[in-house]
Structure 1
Amino acid sequence: MIAFLGMGHLGANFVRALISKGEQVQVWNRTASKATALETYGAKAFPEVADAVKGAGRIHLTLKDDHSVNEILAAAVSGFKAGAVIIDHTTTSTDGAIQRTREWQERGFTYLHAPVFMGPQNALESTGYMLVSGDQTVIGRQEQALSKMTGKVINFGDTVGKAASMKLLGNSFLVGLTAGLADTLSLAKALDIPVSDLSALFDNWNPGGALPARLQRMTSGNYNNPSWELSMARKDTQLFIEAAAKGGTQLAVLPAIAAEMDRWIKNGHGNDDWTVIGKDSISSKV
């Protein structure tokens, strides 16, 4: 039997999918009505979190942050079955995941951080990606069950907390991508280009396909054979900024990028490939 704590859109659809696969699931949510709503699908809701986890061999969490995970686990522990496994899908800090893995092991329980790149529909359809790392024996015991919940389980090895780090990296990219798209939409508005035309551009030209090559170029350390010189990229960036200003729209990200480009140009990199602006960000482990 499984317990699931945190019935937001993701958690609720995880529960529905588990029930459809024949699992018995006990649920809890801070707002009780979100848990009781799942009784329609066959879940058993509890008003007290310690009661929701009683008898459960696996306890899943989809909560907000480190604080909420620590708070709810502290409230639930009195109901834990001996040897229960805690599987936490919450996006948390790396340090928090490491600390909980150690502390719950010391208390006789297994804690596995398994953050996801999954939306609510993915949770319902058991598609998307789930990340794990740490004790490979623990992962080996849980991998089959986790695989039934997602399209792919990605194992990042035996470093505890690495899955948390990888989730933060992925979300960082998504935040940057969305902020960049917001600036692109602002520029389109300033240039009186409808969204339909912008969509048509990306339907025909997918810049995402260049991501692996761009990452390789940025991390190669070789910027002296440019495909786009930094000075030329900076010239275009100025065109973006001026067009937006003329059209009465504001840009949030591009002005900061322009300032970073100016710093690198001032340091003599104007003729280098524009990806040189990422040079200082590269880990020495690359």
Structure 2
Amino acid sequence: MKRVFLGTGLIGGGLAQAAAQRGDEVVVWNRTRSKAEALTEFGAEVAADAPTAVAGVRHVHLALTSDAAVDAVLESIMDALEEDAVVIDHSTTSPGGTLARAEKMAAAGKRYLHVPVFMSPEACKAAKGIMLVAGPEPLYQEQLSAIEPMTGRVRWCGEKKDAAATLKLVGNCMLLAMVGGLADAFAIASSNGLGSEDVMGLFADWNPGYMLQGRGARMAEGDFETLWTLTMARKDLGLMKDTAGDDAGLAVLPGLGARMDGMIAEGEGERDVAVLARDSLNAGKTGK
């Protein structure tokens, strides 16, 4: 199989390297040529420009840094794409931008799937992790055999053109919340003479991720049966901030506390802390 990778940074470079090592014929292009040239040791061919790269290639992979970058590259290659080529876009982009691109490609008679990834650079090289896919289902089914070797799991998100883009942001939201929460946890522990190893030891014995299957599932259904009142949770958050101290540089707790204060002022204090999801769930029901 011949593939072209446009954008060979950490993600695109890892995917291209893995494809070459699997035996695919790989062509690469990157705005900074040295990043593409680094892949020649794995057998990749470096193209002079993006239009040259896609000539004669059916599988065109994008791994770019922004909506603007994706739009610019697509504009440059539109006339050079083969009639039966499919653009497989792994870029993390806005839902609105993704939808507009997908519709523009369809109107031009070009085939396009949005396939963002939850894969580290090392996971890209090892074909582990997960790829999300959104776009026309017949095209997804046709291209599944080309996508599956690139990752550990493929999740079909449906024909809604911006669904994978939205879910990619949902996933990154959780990653950032966990990183920020962990940074705050380290600050609380450090302020009282404990180290990061103590924090990680706690989480080795008690996995807070189980919350997603329990409280998370109830939240998703709008079930706010009281197990831990918002008022008590806010009290505990105050203890966390006081313990960490004013100079801790907390990432998550200050903003969360402000949100809790507003909801308590609205009379929600005796409901479960899961009521924090109230407005987002209501917006989803009304289609906002």
Q: State the TM-score, normalizing by the size of structure 1.
A: 0.94
1:78-135, CA deviations, whole angstroms, 9 ceiling, x for partnerless residues? 4322221111000011122222122122223201111111111111111111111221
Q: Deviations over 1:233-269 (max 9, x none)?
A: 11111111111226x4232321221122122222222
Partner-residue secondary structure (3-state), 1:134: coil
Matches within 5 A, 1:157-172: 157-172=158-173
| Contact 1:219–1:279 (CA under 8 A) maintained in structure 2 | no
Alignment correspondent of 2:233: 233
Deviation of 1:285 after TM superposition, in Å, equals 7.0
- The one-letter code matched in structure 2 to 1:252 is A
Residues 222 and 38 from structure 1, CA distance in 2 versus in 1: closer, same or farther, beyond 3 angstroms?
Answer: closer
Match of 2:76 in 1: 75
Contact 2:3 2:27 in 1 (8 A): yes
Mapping for residues 19-30 of structure 1, pairs under 5 Å: 19-30=20-31
Contact 2:185-2:199 within 8 A present in 1 as well: no
Which residue of the partner structure matches residue 269 of structure 2? 270
Counterpart Cα distance in 2 of 1:209 and 1:268? 29
The whole-number CA distance in structure 2 between the counterparts of 1:274 and 1:77 is 50
Corresponding position of 1:108: 109
Q: What RMSD, in angstroms, separates the aligned Cα atoms of the two structures?
A: 1.6
2:253 aligned partner: 254
Give the Å deviation of 1:47: 2.4
Q: Which residue of 2 aligns with 1:216?
A: 217
Q: Contact 1:190–1:244 (CA<8 Å) still a contact in 2?
A: yes
CA distance in 2, matches of 1:42, 1:236: 56
| 1:69 to partner: Cα distance | 0.5
Question: Any idea what SS the aligned residue of 1:111 has?
Answer: strand
CA contact (8 A) 1:129 1:150 kept: yes
In structure 1, what is the equivalent of residue 130 of structure 2?
129
Give 3-state SS (helix, strand or coil) of 2:15's partner: helix
8 Å CA contact 1:83, 1:108 repeated in 2 = no
Q: Deviations over 1:151-183 (max 9, x none)?
A: 111001221211111111111111122111111
Partner of 2:242: 242
Q: Secondary structure at the match of 1:228?
A: coil
Query: What amino acid sits opposite 1:279 in the alignment?
Result: R
AA partner of residue 251 (structure 2):
A
* Aligned residue in 2 for 1:40: 41
Moved over 6 A (4+): none
What's the CA shift for 1:139? 0.5
Give CA deviations for 1:177-214 in whole Å, capped at 9, x if unaligned. Answer: 21111111222221221111111111111101221212
Name the CA shift for 1:183/1:38 in 2 (closer, same or farther; >3 Å): same
What residue identity is the alignment partner of 1:261?
M
Alignment map for 1:133-212 (pairs within 5 Å) = 133-212=134-213
Q: Which moved more, 1:108-117 or 1:182-191?
A: 182-191
Q: Take 2:13 and 2:258, find their aligned partners in 1: how far apart are those partners?
A: 44
Q: Taking structure 1 as reference, are residues 280 and 193 closer, same or farther at Cα in structure 2, changes over 3 Å only?
A: same
1:11 paired with 2:17, answer: no
Structure 2 gaps of 5+ residues are none
In structure 1, what is the Cα distance between the partners aligned to 2:223 and 2:117? 34
State the secondary structure of the residue aligned to 1:250: coil
Q: Secondary structure at the match of 2:213?
A: helix
Contact 1:46–1:52 (Cα < 8 Å) also in 2:
yes
Contact between 1:189 and 1:249, CA under 8 Å: does it hold in 2? Answer: no
Note the C-alpha offset of 1:28. 0.3
Which stretch of structure 1 is more off in the superposition, 72-81 or 184-193?
Answer: 72-81
The percent identity for this pair of structures is 38
Residues 186 and 195, structure 2, Cα contact 8 Å, conserved in 1: no
d(CA) in 1 for partners of 2:258, 2:136:
44
Question: Conserved in 1, the CA contact under 8 Å of 2:50 and 2:77?
Answer: yes
